[in-house]
A and B are shown apart, each in its own frame.
Chain A
Amino acid sequence: SAVISQKPSRDICQRGTSLTIQCQVDSQVTMMFWYRQQPGQSLTLIATANQGSEATYESGFVIDKFPISRPNLTFSTLTVSNMSPEDSSIYLCSVGGSPPGTDTQYFGPGTRLTVL
Chain B
Amino acid sequence: GENVEQHPSTLSVQEGDSAVIKCTYSDSASNYFPWYKQELGKRPQLIIDIRSNVGEKKDQRIAVTLNKTAKHFSLHITETQPEDSAVYFCAADTSGTYKYIFGTGTRLKVLA
Contact = CB atoms under 8 A, between A and B. Distances in A.
B89 A42 contact: yes
Given A31-B98, A33-B99, A59-B1, A107 B32 contact: no
B102 A105 contact: no
B44 interface: yes
A97 interface: yes
Q: How large is the interface on B (under 10, 10 to 19, 20 to 34, 35 or more residues)?
A: 20 to 34
Q: How large is the interface on A (under 10, 10 to 19, 20 to 34, 35 or more residues)?
A: 20 to 34
B99 A97 contact: no
A103 B32 contact: yes
Contacts of B43: 92, 107-110
Interface in A64-107: 92, 96-97, 103-107
Contacts, number: 44
A2 interface: no
Interface in B40-58: 42-46, 49
B59 to A, nearest CB: 14
Given A92-B43, A103-B93, A105-B34, A43 B98 contact: no
A42 B34 CA distance: 14
A77 B43 CA distance: 18
Contacts of A96: 98
A103 to B, nearest CB: 5
B102 to A, nearest CB: 5
Contact of B46 (A43, A97, A106): A106
B49 A43 contact: no
A115 interface: no
* Interface hub of B45, B98, B102 (most chain A Cβ within 10 A): B98
Interface in B60-112: 89, 93, 98-105
14 contacts: A33-B99, A42-B89, A42-B102, A44-B102, A59-B1, A96-B98, A103-B93, A104-B32, A104-B34, A104-B46, A105-B46, A107-B36, A107-B44, A109-B42
Given A41-B104, A104-B46, 6 more contacts: A45-B99, A103-B93, A103-B98, A105-B46, A106-B46, A109-B43
